[in-house]
């Protein structure tokens, strides 16, 4: 169900009823809120929610900042609400959204969007392994995930608070955080369907792109995840925020594509190493990718529209869902 009478908040989320659901690999019934720190060892067993700091061990509920907890807990009562009967059985997206907003800042936005790609980007269409399942929290030691522990730790704080009101899966939390990060930096508003289940195991390694790949290899890699060249190019536009040197690191706009067209890597002014990755430059050297780069460089609205669609596809990729 999509709420329509809560402006800004409700129109951005889909809601699903029931707290009982299917285990993602076994098909047995489990509690939906699989989480790090759970005592569950297999995803066929019921999962008990605990108030733990997954990075630094058990934590007392007294540690919660009262202001954060109060703002998340009270929000559902302050905002216009859907009818109570359906809300009682649903995920209230505003609780997750507000919890994320309490910990998010422009400085943390790029890390959140990268976190989304590194959770969902493990998907392999051949065997349906990987995908948007929260397993990134077990994979932070992998070289390609260097630095993402900071983003996970930030979201862990939000999760502790949100879980006190309504259990949230890591997969849902990360999907919402990425969308919030994009919007916070001035990018498109992205509706996020809710109800993803978490995996309790790591995804296969070696599925994310290495920065040495050329355009042909990138296309092959993304196609194995079900993504077209256009979707790969538009998603790569996320590099416009963060530390890769495309414009303002806190503003989500189409500067990435404009800068790629300027070919900074070919400059003799000492700029090349400072701007972008080899994979970014590789896109600009491929005719098919270049057509999309030209389009998005000249039409930011089109970039925003297409990024929104590709982001929705990314955060739904390989996800298992709570039963309605
Ligand atoms: C096309 C293949 C891609 C490669 C090879 C790649 C690789 C990388 C690398 C090496 C970094 C630098 C990490 C660091 O500073 O330590 C980075 C940053 C980033 N990536 Fe990607 N990436 C790719 C696609 C994507 C996609 C599809 C997204 C999102 C939809 C994404 C989002 C980001 C963001 C937002 C950052 C900046 C993070 C920050 O500054 O904190 N990347 N990427």
> Would you say how long the chain is, in residues?
324
Indicate if 28 and 170 belong to the same structural domain: yes
Contact 5, 133 (CB under 8 A): no
CA 257–ligand 1 middle distance (angstroms): 15
Tally of structural domains, the chain:
2
Task: Report pLDDT digits (tens) over 44-56.
Answer: 222 323 332 333 3
Answer whether residue 3 is part of any domain.
Answer: no
pLDDT, residue 169, reads: 98
The finding on whether 187 has its CB within 6 A of some atom of ligand 1 is no
Query: Which two tokens mark 235?
Result: 């998603």
pLDDT, residue 3, reads: 23
Indicate if 247 and 292 belong to the same structural domain: yes
| Nearest-CA residue for atom 40 of ligand 1 | 242
Indicate if 83 and 135 belong to the same structural domain: yes
Q: Which range marks the domain in which residue 275 is found?
A: 215-312
Indicate if 146 and 241 belong to the same structural domain: no
List Cβ neighbours of 18 (8 Å cut-off, separation of 6 or more): 89, 322, 323, 324
Name the pTM for this structure. Answer: 0.79
pLDDT, residue 265, reads: 66
**Mutational test site, ligand 1, from 206, 242, 311, max ligand atoms within 8 Å of CB:** 242
CA 49–ligand 1 middle distance (angstroms): 32
Answer whether residue 307 is part of any domain.
Answer: yes
CA 63–ligand 1 middle distance (angstroms): 33
- Boundary-marking domain end, from 175, 190, 207: 207
| Nearest-CA residue for atom 39 of ligand 1 | 242
pLDDT, residue 264, reads: 65
Contact 178, 171 (CB under 8 A): no
Q: What CATH number corresponds to the domain at position 302?
A: 1.10.420.10
Segments in the chain forming alpha helices (H) = 66-78, 84-88, 93-103, 106-120, 148-165, 170-184, 215-223, 229-236, 255-261, 278-284, 287-298, 300-316
Three-class secondary structure of residue 89 per DSSP: coil
Indicate if 276 and 295 belong to the same structural domain: yes
| Nearest-CA residue for atom 37 of ligand 1 | 242
Answer whether residue 107 is part of any domain.
Answer: yes
24, 114, 118, 196: the active-site residue: 118
Answer whether residue 251 is part of any domain.
Answer: yes
Q: What CATH number corresponds to the domain at position 136?
A: 1.10.520.10
118 labelled catalytic: yes
Indicate if 19 and 162 belong to the same structural domain: yes
Residue 40 to residue 268: CA distance in whole angstroms: 56
Ranges under pLDDT 50 in the chain: 1-12, 15-67, 75-88
């Amino acid at each position: 169900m999509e709420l329509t009478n809560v402006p800004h908040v409700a129109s951005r989320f889909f809601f699903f009823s029931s707290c009982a659901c299917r285990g993602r690999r076994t098909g047995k019934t489990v509690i939906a809120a699989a989480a790090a720190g759970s005592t569950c060892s297999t995803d066929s067993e019921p999962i008990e929610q605990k108030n733990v700091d997954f990075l630094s061990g058990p934590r007392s509920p007294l540690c919660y900042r009262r202001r954060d907890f109060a703002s998340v807990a009270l929000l559902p009562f302050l905002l216009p609400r859907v009818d109570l009967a359906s809300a009682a059985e649903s995920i209230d997206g505003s609780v997750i959204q507000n919890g994320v907003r309490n910990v998010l800042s422009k400085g943390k936005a790029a890390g959140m969007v990268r976190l989304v790609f590194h959770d969902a980007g493990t998907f392999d269409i051949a065997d349906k392994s990987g995908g948007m399942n929260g397993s990134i929290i077990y994979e932070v030691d992998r070289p390609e995930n260097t630095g993402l522990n900071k983003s996970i730790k930030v979201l862990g704080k939000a999760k502790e608070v949100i879980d006190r009101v309504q259990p949230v899966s890591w997969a849902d939390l990360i999907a919402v955080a990425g969308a919030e990060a994009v919007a916070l930096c001035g990018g498109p508003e992205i509706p996020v369907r809710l109800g993803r289940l978490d995996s309790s195991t790591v995804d296969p390694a070696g599925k994310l792109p290495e920065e040495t790949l050329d355009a042909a290899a990138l296309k092959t890699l993304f196609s194995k995840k079900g993504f077209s060249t256009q979707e790969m190019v538009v998603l790569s536009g996320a590099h416009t925020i963060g530390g890769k040197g495309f414009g303002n690191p806190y503003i989500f706009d189409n500067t990435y594509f404009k800068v790629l067209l300027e070919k900074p890597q070919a400059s003799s002014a000492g700029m090349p190493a400072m701007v972008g990755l080899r994979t970014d430059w590789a896109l600009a050297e491929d005719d098919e990718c270049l057509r999309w780069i030209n389009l998005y460089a000249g039409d930011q609205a089109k970039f925003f529209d297409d990024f929104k669609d590709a982001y929705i596809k990314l955060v739904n990729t390989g996800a298992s869902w709570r039963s309605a």
